[in-house]
Structure 1
């Protein structure tokens, strides 16, 4: 009887150790990374490249899953409600703040535990060379002379670059007319066809036309000048506190254990610091902007207040902040 009790005790201790993590350490299998945007787009390309180099640091495969719909809400919701074990992560973008501010889906940044931010999509104010405008002040003076008379292309009503334009208008004390299009390719076509006078857009979407001299970037809505456009000033440096850009970051469900999240944080940081990754990202026009999880979380809380205020100004915000 004593022998049987001893065997049972040993087995119980073994199972207890396994249950407490005494077995193989995380991760022991592949990880799913949900990208809530279509395959082949800019965010998909950025996410897949980042995942490739993170695999090396983790020693496990990262399976990219494109789960689209609802301005990123569908994929984000799937990630938020997945098992909080570290084996499902999600690539979040600025749009998750817009979805929450409008109440378009029962999803919030508070449903996630942040891993890091790794990329920014700088917003540019772009005009056609035929406009004759060469500076932000030229544009402002034209808008003051004709309130609401300048047509500006944006990537959808209430979308990130519409919000950027509204913020810039507020800071410059002007009023423009915003025309929504289905994405950056349509915005660029509208500019080239002289259907609009200006656009707020990611500078990478127009870089070719800027280099050819057809389109002109008047200003950037970043904190600092962009490396590929060193002669283009920021709104901030010419006196307008208008900073608003899209971004990309990694998150996991909020109840993911800290020790598991920390493993992912170390791996994604190692990937970001990889010189080969940095070279590949620059070649793909993916602007790096790293924030650790705590800084990223603080940034999101501050950004949400700005997004809600802009949405409220547009009449799109949900009743309760």
Structure 2
């Protein structure tokens, strides 16, 4: 819900008082936090954990998660771009902003927003359907090399999972049959239904199936997961890559710096809560808070690296 207040009394009730900063008046009592994917996936889960923690430390505006799924998060992105820069609209998202732009699905990239704070890094797990009898990444690579285009792999088209799949094909020198789904929850469902053989998943969404209906082939991080100690890292399996989803909050581009800083301070406090730490640990997610300047630098560095890769893979098709 997006409420606008006009009276001085109403504005006074909707400030963001945070230690070390002067209070900032907002024109809403409830601010929307848009999530571009359906409920049940990793982005939705993390958004709700973080928003609940922010509401605990804020005695000003109340945040409310709003799912606006479609187009690999681009529908929600457009809603945020078009929103007033008044502190009443935020966007909980990840690097799909880059992959969608680089592959020509959207005309705007990360710099159409005001970065507020990074909150997490969630290492990827590459898993196979139990019915396909792949017990290691090497077995899947060997089969894919001998049968180009036969293995079906689920991706969210234009999202980071799509970009990572293209990168993985190049790195492993294999050809997969990439099939599009809207978000991780749908990708997992497709694997459980034996429609898809291979996909990038996370502990948060797929933990109850890993080791049962789904076979975790590799953990794409520098060290093994505490909750999946028997699953080798990609490097242990002989492949040098680290893959994962970095999430954070953004706002409309021209949002005043004092509002961005207020939210960043609230988010920093929220990320220190025991509830957030425990929830992220249970789902194999690493808390990685970065303030606006650091988060902006991350976007700049990642955008440059991904553009170079997109050019190498022949998928660089910017429309902007």
Q: Do these two structures clear the TM 0.5 threshold for a shared fold by scoring above it? A: yes
Q: How high is the TM-score relative to the length of structure 2?
A: 0.77
SS of the counterpart of 1:114? strand
SS of the counterpart of 1:219? strand
1:304 Cα deviation from its structure 2 partner: 2.7
Equivalences for 1:1-321 in 2 at 5 Å?
Answer: 25-27=23-25, 30-38=29-37, 40-42=39-41, 43-60=43-60, 61-144=62-145, 146-211=146-211, 213-282=212-281, 285=283, 287-292=285-290, 293-308=292-307, 316-319=315-318
SS of the counterpart of 1:80? helix
Q: 1:238 to 1:246 in 2, by over 3 A?
A: same
State the aligned residue count. 295
1:54 Cα deviation from its structure 2 partner: 0.7
Q: Which moved more, 1:51-60 or 1:129-138?
A: 129-138
Q: Deviations over 1:74-96 (max 9, x none)?
A: 32233234333433322122222
- Counterpart residue number, 2:5: none
SS of the counterpart of 2:241? coil
SS of the counterpart of 1:117? strand
Structure (1/2) with the larger helix percentage: 1
Q: 1:169 to 1:179 in 2, by over 3 A?
A: same
Q: How high is the TM-score relative to the length of structure 1?
A: 0.77
1:306 Cα deviation from its structure 2 partner: 4.6
| C-alpha contact (below 8 Å) 1:34/1:67 kept by paired residues | no
- Residues in 2 aligned to 1:87 and 1:182: alpha-carbon distance in whole angstroms: 27
Q: Deviations over 1:163-196 (max 9, x none)?
A: 2222222222333332334554554454345444
- Residues in 2 aligned to 1:124 and 1:33: alpha-carbon distance in whole angstroms: 31
- Residues in 1 aligned to 2:54 and 2:157: alpha-carbon distance in whole angstroms: 35
- Residues in 2 aligned to 1:210 and 1:68: alpha-carbon distance in whole angstroms: 26
Q: Which moved more, 1:184-193 or 1:296-305?
A: 184-193
Q: 1:167 to 1:289 in 2, by over 3 A?
A: farther
1:110 Cα deviation from its structure 2 partner: 0.9
Q: Deviations over 1:251-281 (max 9, x none)?
A: 1233333333222111101101011232244
- Residues in 2 aligned to 1:186 and 1:52: alpha-carbon distance in whole angstroms: 25
Q: Extract unaligned runs of 5+ from structure 2.
A: 1-21
Greater radius of gyration (CA): 1
| C-alpha contact (below 8 Å) 2:98/2:110 kept by paired residues | yes
- Residues in 2 aligned to 1:53 and 1:210: alpha-carbon distance in whole angstroms: 29
Q: Which moved more, 1:117-126 or 1:130-139?
A: 130-139
1:126 Cα deviation from its structure 2 partner: 1.1
- Residues in 2 aligned to 1:73 and 1:183: alpha-carbon distance in whole angstroms: 12
- Residues in 2 aligned to 1:53 and 1:190: alpha-carbon distance in whole angstroms: 32
1:141 Cα deviation from its structure 2 partner: 2.7
- Residues in 2 aligned to 1:192 and 1:47: alpha-carbon distance in whole angstroms: 25
Q: Deviations over 1:9-63 (max 9, x none)?
A: xxxxxxxxxxxxxxx7215553523314355332233212211211232212113
1:315 Cα deviation from its structure 2 partner: 5.7
Q: 1:150 to 1:243 in 2, by over 3 A?
A: farther
| C-alpha contact (below 8 Å) 2:37/2:73 kept by paired residues | no
Q: 1:234 to 1:152 in 2, by over 3 A?
A: farther
- Residues in 1 aligned to 2:85 and 2:220: alpha-carbon distance in whole angstroms: 36
When the two chains are superposed, the root-mean-square deviation of aligned CA atoms in Å is 3.0
